[in-house]
Amino acid sequence: MQTTLPSDSPPARKTYRQGDLRRALLDAGMALAREGGPAAITLREATRRAGVAPNAAYRHFASQQALLQSVRAAALQGVAESMENALADLPTNLSAADHARASVRAVGTGYLRFAQAEPGLFRTAFAVSDKLIQATPEVPTAGPGGRNPYELLCDAVDLLVASGVMPAARRPGAEILAWSAVHGLAMLVVDGPLAAPVGPHFALFGQRVLDMVEKGL
Protein backbone atom coordinates (compact mmCIF):
# COMPACT_ATOMS: atom_id res chain seq x y z
CA MET A 1 0.00 0.00 0.00
CA GLN A 2 2.83 2.42 0.66
CA THR A 3 4.14 1.97 -2.90
CA THR A 4 2.38 3.07 -6.08
CA LEU A 5 0.25 0.45 -7.75
CA PRO A 6 1.75 -1.01 -10.93
CA SER A 7 -1.67 -1.56 -12.53
CA ASP A 8 -4.79 0.68 -12.60
CA SER A 9 -2.94 2.94 -14.98
CA PRO A 10 -5.41 5.75 -15.83
CA PRO A 11 -6.83 6.67 -12.40
CA ALA A 12 -4.02 5.61 -10.06
CA ARG A 13 -1.36 7.78 -11.68
CA LYS A 14 -0.42 10.83 -9.69
CA THR A 15 2.75 11.83 -11.44
CA TYR A 16 4.79 10.43 -14.30
CA ARG A 17 8.13 9.47 -12.83
CA GLN A 18 10.84 7.59 -14.70
CA GLY A 19 9.77 7.90 -18.31
CA ASP A 20 6.14 6.90 -18.02
CA LEU A 21 5.02 10.14 -19.59
CA ARG A 22 7.30 9.65 -22.56
CA ARG A 23 5.64 6.29 -23.13
CA ALA A 24 2.18 7.81 -22.64
CA LEU A 25 2.90 10.60 -25.13
CA LEU A 26 4.27 8.15 -27.66
CA ASP A 27 1.17 5.98 -27.28
CA ALA A 28 -1.04 9.03 -27.69
CA GLY A 29 0.93 10.05 -30.76
CA MET A 30 0.45 6.62 -32.27
CA ALA A 31 -3.25 6.74 -31.55
CA LEU A 32 -3.41 10.11 -33.28
CA ALA A 33 -1.52 8.74 -36.27
CA ARG A 34 -3.91 5.81 -36.43
CA GLU A 35 -6.88 8.16 -36.48
CA GLY A 36 -5.64 10.93 -38.73
CA GLY A 37 -2.24 10.15 -40.20
CA PRO A 38 0.94 12.11 -39.65
CA ALA A 39 -0.74 15.53 -39.79
CA ALA A 40 -2.80 14.63 -36.72
CA ILE A 41 0.26 14.15 -34.52
CA THR A 42 0.19 17.20 -32.31
CA LEU A 43 1.98 17.93 -29.06
CA ARG A 44 -1.05 19.63 -27.59
CA GLU A 45 -3.44 16.80 -28.36
CA ALA A 46 -0.95 14.19 -27.19
CA THR A 47 -0.51 15.95 -23.84
CA ARG A 48 -4.25 16.42 -23.60
CA ARG A 49 -4.75 12.67 -23.98
CA ALA A 50 -2.04 11.97 -21.44
CA GLY A 51 -3.85 14.26 -18.99
CA VAL A 52 -0.94 16.63 -18.67
CA ALA A 53 -0.10 20.27 -19.35
CA PRO A 54 0.94 21.05 -22.96
CA ASN A 55 4.47 22.05 -22.10
CA ALA A 56 5.10 18.89 -20.07
CA ALA A 57 5.92 17.21 -23.35
CA TYR A 58 9.15 19.19 -23.56
CA ARG A 59 10.65 17.14 -20.74
CA HIS A 60 10.63 14.14 -23.11
CA PHE A 61 10.60 15.46 -26.67
CA ALA A 62 12.62 18.36 -27.97
CA SER A 63 9.87 19.42 -30.34
CA GLN A 64 6.77 18.27 -32.18
CA GLN A 65 9.08 17.01 -34.92
CA ALA A 66 10.82 14.76 -32.42
CA LEU A 67 7.51 13.20 -31.37
CA LEU A 68 6.56 12.71 -35.01
CA GLN A 69 9.87 10.99 -35.73
CA SER A 70 9.41 8.68 -32.76
CA VAL A 71 5.93 7.72 -33.91
CA ARG A 72 7.29 7.17 -37.40
CA ALA A 73 10.01 4.90 -36.07
CA ALA A 74 7.47 2.89 -34.09
CA ALA A 75 5.32 2.56 -37.21
CA LEU A 76 8.31 1.23 -39.16
CA GLN A 77 8.95 -1.25 -36.39
CA GLY A 78 5.36 -2.38 -36.87
CA VAL A 79 5.96 -2.87 -40.59
CA ALA A 80 9.06 -4.94 -39.84
CA GLU A 81 7.19 -7.03 -37.31
CA SER A 82 4.36 -7.69 -39.76
CA MET A 83 6.92 -8.85 -42.33
CA GLU A 84 8.60 -11.10 -39.78
CA ASN A 85 5.27 -12.65 -38.86
CA ALA A 86 4.56 -13.46 -42.49
CA LEU A 87 8.03 -14.94 -42.87
CA ALA A 88 7.54 -17.06 -39.76
CA ASP A 89 4.42 -18.60 -41.27
CA LEU A 90 6.37 -20.00 -44.21
CA PRO A 91 6.45 -23.81 -44.52
CA THR A 92 9.86 -25.26 -43.72
CA ASN A 93 9.95 -28.04 -46.29
CA LEU A 94 10.48 -25.88 -49.36
CA SER A 95 13.34 -26.13 -51.82
CA ALA A 96 15.81 -23.28 -51.71
CA ALA A 97 14.29 -21.74 -54.84
CA ASP A 98 10.73 -22.04 -53.56
CA HIS A 99 11.76 -20.74 -50.18
CA ALA A 100 13.34 -17.70 -51.79
CA ARG A 101 10.25 -16.96 -53.86
CA ALA A 102 7.99 -17.50 -50.86
CA SER A 103 10.16 -15.18 -48.77
CA VAL A 104 9.76 -12.33 -51.22
CA ARG A 105 6.02 -12.91 -51.25
CA ALA A 106 5.90 -13.05 -47.46
CA VAL A 107 7.74 -9.77 -47.12
CA GLY A 108 5.31 -8.15 -49.54
CA THR A 109 2.32 -9.73 -47.86
CA GLY A 110 3.44 -8.52 -44.44
CA TYR A 111 3.88 -5.04 -45.84
CA LEU A 112 0.40 -5.02 -47.36
CA ARG A 113 -1.22 -6.50 -44.28
CA PHE A 114 0.23 -3.74 -42.16
CA ALA A 115 -0.97 -1.12 -44.61
CA GLN A 116 -4.46 -2.54 -44.47
CA ALA A 117 -4.58 -3.08 -40.72
CA GLU A 118 -3.00 0.25 -39.80
CA PRO A 119 -3.51 2.72 -42.63
CA GLY A 120 -2.82 5.76 -40.47
CA LEU A 121 0.43 4.34 -39.13
CA PHE A 122 1.39 3.19 -42.61
CA ARG A 123 0.93 6.69 -43.97
CA THR A 124 2.96 8.03 -41.08
CA ALA A 125 5.78 5.58 -41.68
CA PHE A 126 6.21 6.74 -45.26
CA ALA A 127 5.08 10.33 -44.99
CA VAL A 128 6.85 13.05 -46.86
CA SER A 129 9.97 14.11 -45.06
CA ASP A 130 8.83 17.75 -45.03
CA LYS A 131 12.22 18.90 -46.28
CA LEU A 132 13.55 17.95 -42.88
CA ILE A 133 15.17 15.01 -41.16
CA GLN A 134 15.99 12.71 -44.05
CA ALA A 135 18.16 10.18 -42.32
CA THR A 136 16.89 10.15 -38.72
CA PRO A 137 19.71 7.84 -37.73
CA GLU A 138 18.99 7.88 -33.99
CA VAL A 139 15.56 6.29 -33.97
CA PRO A 140 15.51 2.50 -34.30
CA THR A 141 13.17 1.16 -36.97
CA ALA A 142 13.93 -2.53 -36.77
CA GLY A 143 11.47 -5.22 -35.74
CA PRO A 144 11.96 -7.84 -33.03
CA GLY A 145 14.42 -9.71 -35.25
CA GLY A 146 16.71 -6.71 -35.48
CA ARG A 147 16.23 -5.97 -39.20
CA ASN A 148 14.30 -3.02 -40.54
CA PRO A 149 11.74 -3.36 -43.36
CA TYR A 150 14.18 -2.48 -46.12
CA GLU A 151 16.74 -4.96 -44.82
CA LEU A 152 14.13 -7.71 -44.62
CA LEU A 153 13.20 -7.06 -48.24
CA CYS A 154 16.82 -7.08 -49.36
CA ASP A 155 17.43 -10.34 -47.49
CA ALA A 156 14.53 -11.97 -49.30
CA VAL A 157 15.66 -10.74 -52.73
CA ASP A 158 19.18 -11.93 -51.94
CA LEU A 159 17.75 -15.40 -51.45
CA LEU A 160 16.48 -15.31 -55.05
CA VAL A 161 20.05 -14.90 -56.23
CA ALA A 162 21.54 -17.40 -53.77
CA SER A 163 19.06 -20.05 -54.86
CA GLY A 164 19.60 -19.42 -58.55
CA VAL A 165 16.14 -18.03 -59.25
CA MET A 166 17.50 -14.62 -60.23
CA PRO A 167 20.71 -13.96 -62.19
CA ALA A 168 23.15 -11.97 -60.11
CA ALA A 169 23.37 -9.39 -62.88
CA ARG A 170 19.75 -8.42 -62.30
CA ARG A 171 20.10 -8.16 -58.54
CA PRO A 172 21.24 -4.53 -58.13
CA GLY A 173 18.20 -2.38 -57.45
CA ALA A 174 15.78 -5.28 -57.79
CA GLU A 175 14.41 -4.60 -54.33
CA ILE A 176 13.39 -1.14 -55.52
CA LEU A 177 11.19 -2.65 -58.21
CA ALA A 178 9.47 -5.01 -55.80
CA TRP A 179 9.03 -2.29 -53.22
CA SER A 180 7.56 0.09 -55.79
CA ALA A 181 4.87 -2.33 -56.90
CA VAL A 182 3.75 -3.22 -53.41
CA HIS A 183 4.03 0.32 -52.08
CA GLY A 184 2.05 1.74 -54.96
CA LEU A 185 -0.83 -0.63 -54.42
CA ALA A 186 -0.82 0.16 -50.71
CA MET A 187 -0.83 3.91 -51.28
CA LEU A 188 -3.52 3.84 -53.94
CA VAL A 189 -5.80 1.68 -51.85
CA VAL A 190 -5.06 2.88 -48.33
CA ASP A 191 -5.72 6.55 -48.92
CA GLY A 192 -5.82 7.06 -52.62
CA PRO A 193 -8.30 6.98 -55.46
CA LEU A 194 -8.59 3.19 -55.45
CA ALA A 195 -9.85 2.93 -51.87
CA ALA A 196 -13.47 2.52 -52.90
CA PRO A 197 -13.18 0.23 -55.95
CA VAL A 198 -10.25 -1.95 -54.89
CA GLY A 199 -10.39 -1.80 -51.11
CA PRO A 200 -12.71 -4.80 -50.72
CA HIS A 201 -10.38 -6.94 -52.85
CA PHE A 202 -7.17 -5.67 -51.36
CA ALA A 203 -5.71 -9.09 -50.52
CA LEU A 204 -6.56 -10.43 -53.97
CA PHE A 205 -4.86 -7.55 -55.75
CA GLY A 206 -1.97 -7.86 -53.34
CA GLN A 207 -1.36 -11.39 -54.52
CA ARG A 208 -1.72 -10.35 -58.15
CA VAL A 209 0.85 -7.61 -57.67
CA LEU A 210 3.18 -10.15 -56.09
CA ASP A 211 2.58 -12.47 -59.05
CA MET A 212 3.59 -9.67 -61.36
CA VAL A 213 6.70 -8.94 -59.32
CA GLU A 214 7.69 -12.60 -59.26
CA LYS A 215 7.31 -12.95 -63.00
CA GLY A 216 8.72 -9.55 -63.83
CA LEU A 217 11.84 -9.52 -61.68
Residue 65 or 116 with smaller CB distance to DNA: 65
The stretches of the chain forming alpha helices (DSSP H) are 9-12, 20-36, 43-50, 64-88, 96-117, 119-125, 149-162, 174-191, 195-198, 202-216
Cα gap 7→13, rounded to integer Å: 9
Are 80 and 149 a contacting pair, CB within 8 Å?
yes
User: Does residue 59 bind DNA (CB under 7 A)?
Assistant: yes
Cα gap 112→146, rounded to integer Å: 20
Instruction: Compute how many residues bind DNA; rule: CB under 7 A.
Output: 24
Residue 16 or 202 with smaller CB distance to DNA: 16
* Least distance (Å) between residue 139 CB and DNA: 17
Residue 146 or 184 with smaller CB distance to its own copies: 184
List binders of DNA among 38-57 (CB under 7 A).
42-45, 48, 52-57
Are 83 and 149 a contacting pair, CB within 8 Å?
yes
User: Does residue 64 bind DNA (CB under 7 A)?
Assistant: yes
List binders of DNA among 3-32 (CB under 7 A).
4, 14-17, 20-21
Residue 55 or 129 with smaller CB distance to DNA: 55
Cα gap 135→44, rounded to integer Å: 26
Q: Which residues bind its own copies (CB under 8 A)?
A: 37, 39, 123, 126, 128-129, 134, 150, 173, 176-177, 179-188, 191-196, 198, 205, 208-209, 211-217
